């Protein structure tokens, strides 16, 4: 019974992590489009009655604004403004840094060395984890995710002899976690290759 409840709880969390961002994005898009309805009404009136002019023009305007903001953020001044907003507001939201780092790693855009896949020795087992940081004395802070939910887990500070960094893509390690450990054979092989060097 306890195992079934654990499975249901972890499945619910995994599902919510997928459904909620999509749902919230759609709600924000619809809210932004309805906010622009009054602004685009004169243009929408020029379109045929059968055509959903107000919604279509609002969507196009929203896409244009998003394009302009995206282009502005790529400039030096825009990047500085974005960094300031992130430091002043977003980094105060609990879990933002974790989600940002994880998203960048999944997209392959992160220049950070955090979240390096590793097999770590805990008790008498090898456990898949991610190196979060390396300490000055050589120890590592390692995050060990719960299967199959990579955003939940525990953090450990371990000596270097118990941490085996893997030369595998971050996405491969996350996929193994979300698939109940399927693909761990390749991770163990990667650890053996690293240890033989």
- Asked if the model's pLDDT at residue 112 lies above 60, the reply is no
Burial of residue 150 (number of CB atoms within 10 Å: 0-12, 13-18, 19+): buried
Most confident option among 43-47, 49-53, 67-71, 90-94: 67-71
Report d(CA 133, CA 141) in Å as an integer.
5
pLDDT band at 34 (very low <50, low <70, confident <90, very high): confident
- Asked if the model's pLDDT at residue 6 lies above 80, the reply is no
Domain parsing of the chain, residue ranges: 2-107, 116-196
The predicted structure's pLDDT at residue 105: 60
- Asked if the model's pLDDT at residue 94 lies above 80, the reply is no
159: left (phi over 0), alpha (psi -120 to 50) or beta: beta
- Asked if the model's pLDDT at residue 72 lies above 80, the reply is yes
Rounded average pLDDT over 33-48: 76
Q: Identify the bridge partners of residue 144 per DSSP, sorted by sequence position.
A: 154
The structure's pTM equals: 0.51
**Residues making up the chain, counted from first to last:** 197
Three-class secondary structure of residue 165 per DSSP:
strand
pLDDT band at 197 (very low <50, low <70, confident <90, very high): low
């Amino acid at each position: 019974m306890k195992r079934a409840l654990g499975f249901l709880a972890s499945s619910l969390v995994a599902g919510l992590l997928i459904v909620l961002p999509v749902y919230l994005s759609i709600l924000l898009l619809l809210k932004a489009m309805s906010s622009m309805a009054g602004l685009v009404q004169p243009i929408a009136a020029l379109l045929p009655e059968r055509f959903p002019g107000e919604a279509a023009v609002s969507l196009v305007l929203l896409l244009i604004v998003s394009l302009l903001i995206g282009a502005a953020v790529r400039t030096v001044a825009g990047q500085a403004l974005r960094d300031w907003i992130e430091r002043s507001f977003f980094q105060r939201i609990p879990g933002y840094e974790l989600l940002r780092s994880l998203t960048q790693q999944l997209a392959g855009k992160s220049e950070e060395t955090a979240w390096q896949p590793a097999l770590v020795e805990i008790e008498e087992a090898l456990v898949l984890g991610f190196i979060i940081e390396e300490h000055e004395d050589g120890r590592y802070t390692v995050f060990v995710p719960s299967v199959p939910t990579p955003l939940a887990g525990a953090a450990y500070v371990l000596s270097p002899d118990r941490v085996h960094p893997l030369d595998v893509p971050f996405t491969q390690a996350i996929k193994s976690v979300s698939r109940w450990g399927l693909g761990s054979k390749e991770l163990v092989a990667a650890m053996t290759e690293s240890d033989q060097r």
